[in-house]
Structure 1
């Protein structure tokens, strides 16, 4: 029954993508292009920084239901988060996908519904695609702060 609920959440995000589209009319939007090397899914992540971290983010892209749902979930989850909070959620999500572990102290919101992807090794990169795009941005932040 829980698997059915999770499947419904994933399909809802895949069909009705949240935060889909380019961030327009805002200054200083970071644009990160990412292509999943294993299947060809592609996305562009748009990040608008504010004083305390991510103020707004959105995406455009094409891919399977898992990758598009993951993009939608991640953009919802990371809005109005500090860079530190983004890192914590990113690490918790990777552990969820790679090891099947859901940490109690990190709220992953709807993204927790992708826990079943853990059993589908070939789909790990689909679920991780937007998070790997986020990694590229986080690396840029580290370089800029040194």
Structure 2
């Protein structure tokens, strides 16, 4: 029963992605292309971090499987409005869930991304679900280095 609900959430994010599109990079936002070399899925993240260190806006474009695109949608929805530090914590929790099967104590912490918890058992799909999150991690490092 719960597995069906999770599939529905993943498919909803895949068919109706949140935060899909571009941000104007001339207005302070930057873009970062990121590719999964094992399957060819690609994502371009657009992110604007305000002066207080908060992710003011984030969008993505990409091509890939339902898991990678749904995960990007979930990730952007989850981190928008969060501080860079909060986003780093969420990246860690998501990584732990996918790679080690560790669900955060506060199950609401990952929001809809919790629906991808079953990917832990599908080792070949780890990189799919982590694509956007790894891109976000790289984007954060790039934004911190630019300061």
The TM tier, using the shorter chain, reads over 0.9
Where do 4+ consecutive residues of structure 1 move more than 2 Å?
141-145
List runs of 5+ in structure 2 lacking aligned partners: none
2:62 match: secondary structure: strand
Match of 1:109 in 2: 111
How many residues align? The count is: 145
Give how far 1:23 is off: 1.3
Distance 1:79 1:37 in 2: 27
Match of 1:127 in 2: 129
List runs of 5+ in structure 1 lacking aligned partners: none
* Deviations 1:28-77 (CA, angstroms, capped at 9, x unpaired): 11101001111000110000111331001000001000000000000000
Match of 1:79 in 2: 80
Q: Give the alignment's Cα RMSD to 1 decimal.
A: 1.5
When the two structures are superposed, what TM-score results if normalisation uses the length of structure 2? 0.93
Distance 1:114 1:18 in 2: 16
Q: Which structure has greater helix proportion?
A: 2
Match of 1:30 in 2: 30
Distance 2:117 2:105 in 1: 14
